């Protein structure tokens, strides 16, 4: 090779490398919860980490508050490649894939330690299902424990009869049926409005969503039943992932691991701070009475049985692995 040829090859090579460093991939990440929610803030930090760790090569724009897709549409949007990745409430997928609903079964896992075990047990099954559908799991973070909100005092489960009950998943609709309430499915983004118009007067969710929706403007009671901890999962389209170079793929999965850890810590902190805010805004926050708790546990027992049947071998694998931990 002449010096001249060598020189031009070297220059061209450098230009290519420089070009590659500057080539930027832009992704969109839809979420269903308000920009101030701890999950959404974690998504933003995750996106910032990815950008930093990939040397600017992967630039993810977070779209919180169901602004790009409504909560139940996000999984499909990732699956069909309309977006590269998205945040999904796992229990929203339960009717399609029962294993996604394991963390929505009342009283199966009720503490953060048990929720962590359940996630460990659930993860291999979820990963397999996602792979079959051309997706991958990046990270999952639980909501704080679920309690019951009500306008009037609840002494027993029969006090829920006939109330207009807001549901966010198949399992929360099923609870309404079992207690004789009228279920209305409303995702978190529309909850504040449903409360303002009186469409709903009872429901189960976290202190976090109660705070986000300023429930104290219409409701008085939060019974801290700690019934389950549903998770949000961030999923990515496998083809989009494969198009990234190895270093950028690693930046994405490393940032996801950090986001999972950060999210669980934020969720724990959120449990306490959100309940404190409910109290500060005039709500009664209390554990359920023994009678109410017994009633809820009976509902839970029916639902564990129903879910186990529906989830078949996958459900059995999850519950067996979980119980061994
Ligand atoms: N908030 C979400 C899901 C669970 C939770 O705590 C909601 O209420 O829609």
Structure tokens at 20: 């590659």
Residue pair 272/262 in contact by the 8 Å Cβ criterion: no
Report the distance separating Cα 143 and Cα 274, nearest Å: 12
pLDDT band at 18 (very low <50, low <70, confident <90, very high): very low
Report the distance separating Cα 68 and Cα 45, nearest Å: 19
H/E/C letters for each residue in the chain? CCHHHHHHHHHHHHHHHHHHHHCCEEEEEECCCCCCCHHHHHHHHHHHHHHHHCCCCEEEEEECCCCCCCHHHHHHHHHCCCCCEEEEEHHHHCCCCHHHHHHHCCCCCCCHHHHHHHHHHHHHHHHHHHHHCCEEEEEEEECCCCEEEECCCCCCHHHHCCCEEEECCHHHHHHHHHHCCEEEECCHHHHHHHHHCCCCCEEEECHHHHHHCCHHHCCCEEECCCCCCCEEEEEEEHHHHHCCCHHHHHHHHHHHHHHHHHHHHHHHHHHHHHHHHHHHCCCEEECCCHHHHHHHHHHHHHHHHHHHHHHHHHHHHHHHHHHHC
The two beta strands, 164-167 and 182-185, are parallel
- Residues 222, 224, 226: CA angle, nearest 5 degrees: 140
At 26, phi and psi to the nearest 5? -110, 130
Structure tokens at 12: 């061209």
Which residues have C-beta within 8 Å of that of residue 157, sequence separation ≥ 6?
179, 291, 292, 295, 296, 298, 299
**Mean model confidence pLDDT for the chain:** 94
Which residues have C-beta within 8 Å of that of residue 114, sequence separation ≥ 6?
none
pLDDT band at 22 (very low <50, low <70, confident <90, very high): low
At 21, phi and psi to the nearest 5? -65, -35
Say how many Å lie between the CA of residue 243 and the centre of ligand 1.
33
143 ligand 1 Cβ < 6 A: yes
The two beta strands, 25-30 and 58-63, are parallel
**Model confidence, pTM:** 0.93
pLDDT band at 23 (very low <50, low <70, confident <90, very high): confident
pLDDT per residue as tens digits for the range 139-183: 999 999 999 999 999 999 999 999 999 999 999 999 999 999 999
Site to probe by mutation for ligand 1, drawn from 89, 147, 173 as the one with most ligand atoms within 8 Å of Cβ, is 89
205 ligand 1 Cβ < 6 A: yes
* CATH code assigned to 26-142+230-275: 3.40.190.170
CATH among 2.60.120.20, 3.40.190.10, 3.30.750.24, 3.40.190.170 for 147-227+281-323: 3.40.190.170
Q: Is 69 left (phi over 0), alpha (psi -120 to 50) or beta?
A: beta
Tally Cβ neighbours within 10 Å of residue 64. 22
Say how many Å lie between the CA of residue 13 and the centre of ligand 1.
52
Predicted confidence (pLDDT) at residue 287 exceeds the cutoff of 50? yes
CA dihedral of residues 262, 263, 268, 269 (deg, nearest 10): 70
105 ligand 1 Cβ < 6 A: no
pLDDT band at 16 (very low <50, low <70, confident <90, very high): very low
Predicted confidence (pLDDT) at residue 5 exceeds the cutoff of 80? no
pLDDT per residue as tens digits for the range 31-48: 999 999 999 999 999 999
pLDDT per residue as tens digits for the range 50-88: 999 999 999 999 999 999 999 999 999 999 999 999 999
Q: Which residue has the higher pLDDT, 198 or 2?
A: 198
Which among 101, 144, 130, 319 is positioned nearest to 234, based on CA atoms? 130
At 92, phi and psi to the nearest 5? -65, -20
Predicted confidence (pLDDT) at residue 120 exceeds the cutoff of 70? yes
CA-closest residue to ligand 1 atom 4? 205
Residue pair 244/312 in contact by the 8 Å Cβ criterion: no
pLDDT band at 111 (very low <50, low <70, confident <90, very high): very high
Say how many Å lie between the CA of residue 104 and the centre of ligand 1.
11
Predicted confidence (pLDDT) at residue 319 exceeds the cutoff of 70? yes
Share above pLDDT 70 across residues of the chain, in percent, rounded to a whole number: 93
Q: Return residue ranges of the chain for CATH 3.40.190.170.
A: 26-142+230-275, 147-227+281-323
At 186, phi and psi to the nearest 5? -140, 125
Predicted confidence (pLDDT) at residue 19 exceeds the cutoff of 70? no
Predicted confidence (pLDDT) at residue 242 exceeds the cutoff of 90? yes
Say how many Å lie between the CA of residue 79 and the centre of ligand 1.
23
């Amino acid at each position: 090779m002449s010096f001249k040829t060598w020189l031009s090859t070297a220059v061209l090579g450098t230009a290519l490398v420089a070009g590659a460093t500057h080539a930027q991939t832009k992704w969109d990440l839809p979420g269903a919860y308000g920009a101030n929610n701890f999950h959404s803030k974690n998504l933003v930090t995750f996106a910032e980490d990815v950008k930093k760790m990939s040397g600017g090569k992967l630039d993810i724009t977070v779209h919180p508050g169901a602004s790009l897709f409504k909560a139940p549409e996000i999984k499909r949007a990732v699956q069909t490649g309309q977006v590269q990745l998205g945040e999904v409430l796992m229990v929203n997928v339960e009717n399609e894939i029962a294993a996604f609903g394991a963390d929505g079964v009342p009283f199966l896992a009720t503490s953060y330690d048990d929720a962590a075990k359940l996630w460990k047990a659930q993860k291999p099954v979820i990963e397999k299902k996602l792979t079959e559908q051309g997706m991958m799991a990046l990270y999952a973070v639980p909501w704080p424990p679920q309690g019951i909100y009500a306008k009037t005092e609840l002494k027993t489960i029969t006090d829920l009869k006939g109330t207009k009950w807001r549901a966010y998943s198949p399992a929360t609709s099923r609870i309404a049926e079992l207690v004789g309430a009228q279920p209305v499915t409303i995702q978190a983004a529309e909850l504040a409005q449903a409360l303002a118009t009186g469409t709903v007067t009872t429901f189960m969710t976290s202190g976090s969503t109660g705070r986000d929706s300023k429930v104290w403007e219409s409701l008085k009671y939060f019974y801290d039943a700690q019934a389950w901890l549903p998770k949000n999962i961030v999923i990515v389209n496998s083809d989009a992932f494969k198009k990234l170079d190895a270093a950028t793929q690693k930046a994405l999965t490393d940032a996801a691991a950090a986001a999972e850890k950060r999210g669980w810590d934020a969720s724990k902190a959120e449990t306490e701070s959100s309940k404190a805010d409910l109290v500060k805004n005039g709500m009664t926050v209390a554990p359920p009475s023994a009678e109410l708790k017994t009633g809820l546990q009976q509902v839970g027992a029916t639902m564990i049985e129903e879910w186990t049947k529906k989830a078949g071998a996958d459900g059995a694998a999850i519950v067996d692995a979980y119980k061994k931990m």
